[in-house]
């Protein structure tokens, strides 16, 4: 069965492709380059283009964005850098049909992440998807299922799992270097482009932007300048607040090092303090997660002032064990404050996309530093914490079925309403 654009546009991609006629995937030689289309290329997507171009394992052959001005700009930049003119697409469904594209990188707004990645898996393409893996718990699980069902490499873009020092040090924590790790904490204090966004009018979208495609699976809204291209982070329809923006990096490290799985309860408090603006998500939020084995994870964000003013770090992670503690970027210490020497070599992990292309060619799970399941668990923490925050109370969670316990109000946020033609539907393995 041939997957055509008419079929993609006219109905659910899942319904079209699930019948089983999928591209089997290219077998790569050692020197073959993976042909990549970068989807969503205004902000983080621009770094994807640069980083892939600098890696020997891959080549950016196509670009996709709902904003024609952004698309034209990146096309010109890539052509100047490489001497090659990439294919360009406004509608990512056309990307899925292009059998010359082996893999996609996704740096769209959060509300597109899972659906674009699922479409990629269903079209036989490997996927690098930016953090968070999902906009909600349900669609994250469907992406995990899609990666397994269609045997695709899906790498989550939290980056730190490709960091050699963290790979070594978290490995030591898992080996019992500090004994049992009973608690972890992480924080991010970012200001900069996190300041008040004021109020913007709803109006006709600019001619260069396909507003319908930009919104994709999200419930439809009138256009507003505060949505495009960055401040969508602070609106629940498109983003997940700072938890799904910067803290998801620290969350992933915390979840990775604590190694406790999925939480059984969470409490979260905070607000959008000081600012009188259009944003909906908190600029200050403190959240705790508890686990069945008694471990605890504490996470904090703040966009009002930061430790930077005092010359201190604005992001960080700490792990507390029986024999001492570990501070990211500083090392291991005993409880007398004395450094603990580490005598173990760093692994070879030069770049996140190096690992992505390595995994694509080897098809080995161990070459993928952060697969769909790992990304789902870390992103799910963010969603659970945000749901606790929005409800204003502690929530209890069942990790086995990924639903809240005796809590219809919380379970209403496990998924969301989808725009017709852009639904995330259940993927069975």
H/E element holding 16? helix 13-17
Quick one: pLDDT at residue 25? 63
- Kindly report, residue by residue over 141-158, the tens digit of the pLDDT: 999 999 999 999 999 999
The residues facing 157 across adjacent strands are 130
Sign of CA dihedral 368, 256, 314, 198: positive
* pLDDT value for 14: 44
pLDDT digits (tens, 9 = 90+) for 346-365: 999 999 999 999 999 999 99
Q: What percentage of the chain has pLDDT greater than the value 70?
A: 94
Mean pLDDT value across residues 174-192: 96
The predicted-structure confidence for 63-91, as pLDDT tens digits, reads as follows 999 999 999 999 999 999 999 999 999 99
Q: Which residue has the tokens 């329809």?
A: 237
Calpha distance 30→114 (Å, rounded): 30
Pair 194, 303: CB distance under 8 Å: yes
Interior/surface letters 186-216, b for 16+ CB within 10 angstroms, e for the rest: bbbbbeeebeebeeeeeeebeeebebebbbb
Contacts for 398 with CB less than 8 Å, ≥ 6 apart: 264, 404, 405
Rounded-to-integer distance, Cα 304 and Cα 280, Å: 15
Q: How far apart are CA 26 and CA 338, in angstroms?
A: 52
pLDDT in tens, 285-328: 999 999 999 999 999 999 998 888 888 899 999 999 999 999 99
3-state SS, residue 341: coil
DSSP 43: S
> Residue 22: what pLDDT?
47
Edge to edge, the sheet with strand 403-404 lists 339-340, 331-333, 325-327, 315-321, 181-189, 296-302, 284-290, 265-271, 395-398, 403-404
Residue at token pair 């100047």: 80
Instruction: Give the three-class secondary structure for 284.
Output: strand
Dihedral angle, C-alpha 132, 133, 136, 138, nearest 10 °: -160
Q: Which two tokens stand for residue 339?
A: 């450094």
**pTM here?**
0.94
Are residues 378 and 251 in contact, defined by beta-carbon separation less than 8 angstroms? yes
Tokens 């201190």 — which residue?
312
Q: What is the pLDDT of residues 210-246, one digit of tens each?
A: 999 999 999 999 999 999 999 999 999 999 999 999 9
CB proximity list for 81: less than 8 A, separation 6 or greater: 53
Under 8 Å between Cβ of 315 and 276: no
Ordered domains of the chain (ranges, CATH):
5-161+354-371 (3.40.50.720), 164-196+233-348+379-411 (3.30.360.10)
Contacts (Cβ under 8 Å, ≥6 apart) of 406: 396
Q: Is the pLDDT of residue 426 over 70?
A: yes
Provide the pLDDT for residue 296.
Answer: 98
Percent of all residues in the chain with a pLDDT value above 90, rounded to a whole number: 90
Q: How far apart are CA 191 and CA 147, in angstroms?
A: 36
CA distance 205 to 226: 12
DSSP assignment of 87-151: EEESSHHHHHH-TT--EEEE-S-GGGHHHHHHHHHHTT-EEEEESSS-SSHHHHHHHHHHHHHTT
The answer for residues whose C-beta is within 8 angstroms of residue 148's C-beta and 6 or more apart is: 372, 429
Report phi then psi at 66, rounded to 5.
-80, -10
Instruction: Please write the tens of the pLDDT for every residue from 332-347.
Output: 999 999 999 999 999 9
Q: Which residue has the tokens 């495609």?
A: 213
Give, for 403, the enclosing helix (H) or strand (E): strand 403-404
- Residue 171: which H helix or E strand, with range? helix 164-174
User: pLDDT tens digits, residue range 4-56?
Assistant: 333 444 444 444 444 333 445 688 877 799 999 999 999 999 999 999 999 98
**Residues shown for the chain:** 429
């Amino acid at each position: 069965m041939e997957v055509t654009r008419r079929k993609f546009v006219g109905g659910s991609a899942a319904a079209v492709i699930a019948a089983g006629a999928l591209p089997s995937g290219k077998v790569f030689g050692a020197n073959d380059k993976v042909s990549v289309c970068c989807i969503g290329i205004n902000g983080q997507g621009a770094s994807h283009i640069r980083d892939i171009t600098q890696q020997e394992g891959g080549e950016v052959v196509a670009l996709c964005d709902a904003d024609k001005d952004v698309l034209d700009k990146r096309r010109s930049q890539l052509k100047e850098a490489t001497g090659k003119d990439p294919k360009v697409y406004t509608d990512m469904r056309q990307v899925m049909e292009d059998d010359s594209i082996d893999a996609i990188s996704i740096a769209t707004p959060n509300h597109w992440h899972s659906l674009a990645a699922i479409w990629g898996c269903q079209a036989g393409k490997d996927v690098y998807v930016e953090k968070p893996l999902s906009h909600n718990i349900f669609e994250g699980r469907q992406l995990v299922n899609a990666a397994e069902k269609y045997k695709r490499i899906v790498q989550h873009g939290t980056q730190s799992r490709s960091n050699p020092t963290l790979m070594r040090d978290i490995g030591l924590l898992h080996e019992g270097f500090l004994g049992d790790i009973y608690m972890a904490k992480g924080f991010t204090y970012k200001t900069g482009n996190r300041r008040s966004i004021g109020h913007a009018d709803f109006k006709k979208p600019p001619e260069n932007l396909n507003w319908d495609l930009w919104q994709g699976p999200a419930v439809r809204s009138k256009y507003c300048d505060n949505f495009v291209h960055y401040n969508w982070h602070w609106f629940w329809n498109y983003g997940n607040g700072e938890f799904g923006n910067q803290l998801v990096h620290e969350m992933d490290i915390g979840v990775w090092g604590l190694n406790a799985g999925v939480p059984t309860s969470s409490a979260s408090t905070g607000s959008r303090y000081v600012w009188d603006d259009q944003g909906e998500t908190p600029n200050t939020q403190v959240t705790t997660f508890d686990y069945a084995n008694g471990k605890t994870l504490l996470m904090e964000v703040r966009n009002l002032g930061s430790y930077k003013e005092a010359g201190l770090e604005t992001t960080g992670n700490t792990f507390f064990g029986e024999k001492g503690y570990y501070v990211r970027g500083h090392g291991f210490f005993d409880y007398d404050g004395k450094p603990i020497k580490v005598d173990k070599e760093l692994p070879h992990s030069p770049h996140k996309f190096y690992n992505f292309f390595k995994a694509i060619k080897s098809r080995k799970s161990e070459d993928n530093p952060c697969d769909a399941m790992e990304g789902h668990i870390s992103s799910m923490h963010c969603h659970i914490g945000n749901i606790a925050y929005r409800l204003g109370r502690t929530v209890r969670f069942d990790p086995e079925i990924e639903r809240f316990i005796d809590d219809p109000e919380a379970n209403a946020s496990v998924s969301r309403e989808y725009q017709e033609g852009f639904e995330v539907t259940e993927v069975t393995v």
